[in-house]
């Protein structure tokens, strides 16, 4: 089959497109999926580059599970949509032919506890940057939606991550949520899902992407790089501070984001695309009684909830570009450029 092998930590040269990879065979309680489309994520790039570090050494080379090394070669790709074409022992043959979207998280238990030390399809197990992939049957979730495979592949990682962030931060209707990186996959998902809860949403985006955020329901849009973020936000909100900051950017904006929060406000993060090392004035944290909340991936219930939103038409796909699998390097270069709004998808 056609597939892309990640042969080690490093640059794009570590991605090897091949057409002679054996088709995997589904083991017990597994299914074999013919991949229709697979989304591109920041995790793919960070995992390839090995930039997750460790708690002891932030500069250490390593994979998504901090302190553990990946096994190579590995087929990446977490956002998988396709059809089941074969099943292993223990799986009803009636599942053959099902259109499925893959829950990419291999949890260690139920609820939030199951996310600690969880593994990922596409990281600790081969993923969807291939024509076929074998996954646990329970992770292949049937979906009934009129959307294309490419459109469906924009949802899994971004929307599961965003839903978990909002749940961790306890966002409810009537609150004001400030979303950074709002033109990316997780950011645009946060906009839609926060609005779905009845929250008021403000968005921080790169220049030229303001209209896209407004179309998703952002009531206030700020271009990245403004000289005084706090004053700009106050001007939009009429001086009322923000209840929740949902951040996937990090970097130099971190301390500014804490300043826009109201006392007893909540800051939740699931990414650091502008840099993981930040400066924190502890006085801002303790004098305002703020909460700092870490969040990553999500629970099975949240994944099922996401599928419900899709099937009911409550969220819209933001497909910014489609690439053949053989052009994965160009897709990842374009992904890093951040010149698009939404998600990029590979088609094997």
Q: What is the pLDDT of residues 130-180, one digit of tens each?
A: 999 999 999 999 999 999 999 999 999 999 999 999 999 999 999 999 999
Assigned domain for 97 exists: yes
Judge if 86 and 197 occupy the same domain: no
Judge if 60 and 187 occupy the same domain: no
The residue range of the domain holding 20 is 3-154+317-347
- Cis status, amide bond into 222, omega within 30 of 0: no
Assigned domain for 340 exists: yes
Q: Which helix (H) or strand (E) holds 25?
A: none
Judge if 183 and 276 occupy the same domain: yes
Judge if 222 and 288 occupy the same domain: yes
Answer for the pair 127, 157: CB distance below 8 angstroms, yes or no: no
Assigned domain for 307 exists: no
Assigned domain for 150 exists: yes
Q: Extract the residue ranges of the chain whose pLDDT is less than 70.
A: none
Judge if 13 and 141 occupy the same domain: yes
Q: How far apart are CA 285 and CA 298, in angstroms?
A: 26
Judge if 223 and 286 occupy the same domain: yes
Determine the pLDDT at residue 266. Answer: 98
CATH of the domain at 214: 3.40.50.720
Judge if 189 and 257 occupy the same domain: yes
Judge if 67 and 181 occupy the same domain: no
Assigned domain for 302 exists: no
Determine the pLDDT at residue 320. Answer: 95
Q: How far apart, in Å, do the first and last CA atoms of the chain sit? A: 10
Judge if 199 and 89 occupy the same domain: no
CATH of the domain at 23: 3.90.180.10
Determine the pLDDT at residue 53. Answer: 86
Smallest Cα–Cα separation from 244: which of 161, 297, 179, 164? 179
Judge if 171 and 276 occupy the same domain: yes
Give me the sheet containing 291-294, strands edge to edge: 220-223, 200-205, 176-179, 242-247, 261-269, 291-294
- In the numeric block, the tokens 């995790």 are attached to 43
Judge if 230 and 145 occupy the same domain: no
Assigned domain for 304 exists: no
Assigned domain for 299 exists: no
Judge if 89 and 110 occupy the same domain: yes
Which ranges of the chain would DSSP assign to H, the alpha helix? Answer: 42-49, 149-152, 156-168, 185-196, 210-215, 229-237, 254-260, 282-287, 300-311, 328-337
What share of the chain in percent tops pLDDT 90?
A: 81
Determine the pLDDT at residue 25. Answer: 97
Determine the pLDDT at residue 63. Answer: 82
Name, in order, each residue with C-beta under 8 angstroms of 265's C-beta and a sequence gap of 6 or more.
241, 242, 243, 244, 245, 288, 290, 291
Number of structural domains (the chain) is 2
Assigned domain for 331 exists: yes
């Amino acid at each position: 089959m056609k597939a892309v092998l990640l042969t080690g930590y490093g640059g794009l040269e570590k991605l090897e497109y091949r057409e002679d990879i054996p088709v995997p065979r589904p083991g017990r309680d597994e299914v074999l999926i013919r991949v229709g489309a697979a989304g591109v994520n920041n995790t793919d790039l960070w995992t390839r580059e090995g930039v997750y570090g460790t708690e002891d050494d932030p500069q250490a080379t390593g994979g998504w599970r901090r302190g553990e090394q990946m096994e190579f070669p590995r087929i990446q790709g977490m956002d998988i949509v396709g059809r089941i074409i074969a099943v292993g022992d223990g799986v009803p043959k009636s599942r053959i032919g099902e259109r499925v979207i893959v829950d990419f998280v291999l949890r260690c238990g139920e609820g939030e506890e199951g996310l600690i030390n969880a593994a990922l399809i596409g990281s600790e197990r081969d993923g969807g940057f291939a024509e076929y992939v074998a996954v646990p049957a329970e992770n292949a979730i049937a979906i009934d939606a009129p959307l294309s495979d490419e459109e469906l592949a924009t949802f899994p990682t971004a929307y599961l991550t965003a839903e978990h962030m909002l749940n961790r931060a306890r966002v409810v209707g009537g609150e004001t949520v400030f979303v950074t990186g709002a033109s990316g996959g997780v950011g645009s998902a946060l906009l839609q899902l926060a609005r779905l809860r009845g929250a008021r949403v403000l968005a921080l985006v790169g220049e030229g992407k303001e209209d896209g955020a407004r179309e998703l329901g952002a009531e206030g849009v700020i271009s990245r790089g403004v000289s005084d973020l706090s004053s700009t936000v106050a001007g939009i909100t009429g001086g009322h501070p923000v209840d929740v900051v949902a951040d996937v950017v990090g970097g130099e904006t971190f301390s500014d984001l804490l300043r826009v929060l109201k006392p007893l406000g909540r800051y939740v993060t699931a990414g650091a695309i502008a840099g993981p090392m930040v400066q924190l004035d502890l006085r801002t944290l303790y004098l305002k009684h703020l909460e700092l909340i870490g969040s990553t991936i999500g629970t099975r219930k949240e994944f099922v909830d996401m599928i419900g939103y899709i099937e009911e038409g409550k969220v819209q796909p933001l497909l910014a570009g489609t690439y053949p699998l053989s052009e994965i390097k160009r897709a990842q270069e374009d992904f890093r450029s951040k010149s698009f709004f939404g998600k990029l998808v590979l088609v094997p």
